[in-house]
Chains A and B, each alone.
Chain A
């Protein structure tokens, strides 16, 4: 069964450093997303991406965050200067269509720890 894959599974970084989280969405999907989950809390939407541009973003997704689809298969989330409060599980997701179909599929997550 096709799946969304994320790398790395764990990342520890020092405060102020830049991190790039990587995702390979399901190959025929056109819509891509990033979500995050702070430990013990609910999953929160960060950004959606379609046709090489951001479709929607949340208040969390400030200037420190950016997304890119550098080639036909990868989808990345960059955090420019990490803060302690960026520590969370980050999930990439993809879907074939915006609404309808069979919904969004999530990767296994990248656990980011900022020290």
Chain B
């Protein structure tokens, strides 16, 4: 099956710092989404980004589908950005099944 690898596995940031999270995937995909899992366990939909670049406030994401990777940028990080960031992809022949990566645990310290 498709491999979804996220790096780094853990990230500690000081408030105000910028960071880049990476997601590599091993096959062609219909769909790629980034999620933030907050400390209460909720999965928040950040971006639907099978290709191209999107921005939402301090967050932005870029997917280069031909090279099978996606990047999530966090700028001017805040303590509320803490949590686990998941990348998830949907294969072209699947019925909406998202395959999740193992996530990047982000801790933003004051």
User: Which A residues form the contact surface with B (CB < 8 A)?
Assistant: 31, 33, 35, 37, 42-45, 48, 50, 55-56, 58, 89, 91, 93, 95, 98-106, 108-109, 111
Tell me, in angstroms, the Cα distance from A100 to B9 when the chains sit together: 28
Compute the total of residue contacts between A and B using a CB distance below 8 Å: 68
- List A contacts of B98 (CB < 8 A): 33, 35, 43, 45, 93, 104
Question: Is B58's CB within 8 Å of the partner chain A?
Answer: no
Tell me, in angstroms, the Cα distance from A37 to B40 when the chains sit together: 13
Cross-chain contact B96 with A98 (CB below 8 angstroms): yes
Tell me, in angstroms, the Cα distance from A90 to B90 when the chains sit together: 19
Cross-chain contact B94 with A56 (CB below 8 angstroms): yes
- List B contacts of A48 (CB < 8 A): 95-97
Cross-chain contact B95 with A106 (CB below 8 angstroms): no
Mask for B3-43, Cβ within 8 A of A = 1, else 0? 00000000000000000000000000011010100001111
Which 4 interchain pairs have the tightest Cβ spacing? A103-B48, A55-B95, A99-B30, A56-B95
User: Which B residues form the contact surface with A (CB < 8 A)?
Assistant: 30-31, 33, 35, 40-43, 45, 48, 86, 88, 90, 92, 94-103
Decide yes or no: A45 and B45 within 8 Å by CB, A99-B30, A103-B33, A106-B35 being known contacts: no
Cross-chain contact A33 with B96 (CB below 8 angstroms): yes
Cross-chain contact B101 with A42 (CB below 8 angstroms): yes
Nearest residue, chain B, Cβ from A89 = B41
Tell me, in angstroms, the Cα distance from A99 to B99 when the chains sit together: 14
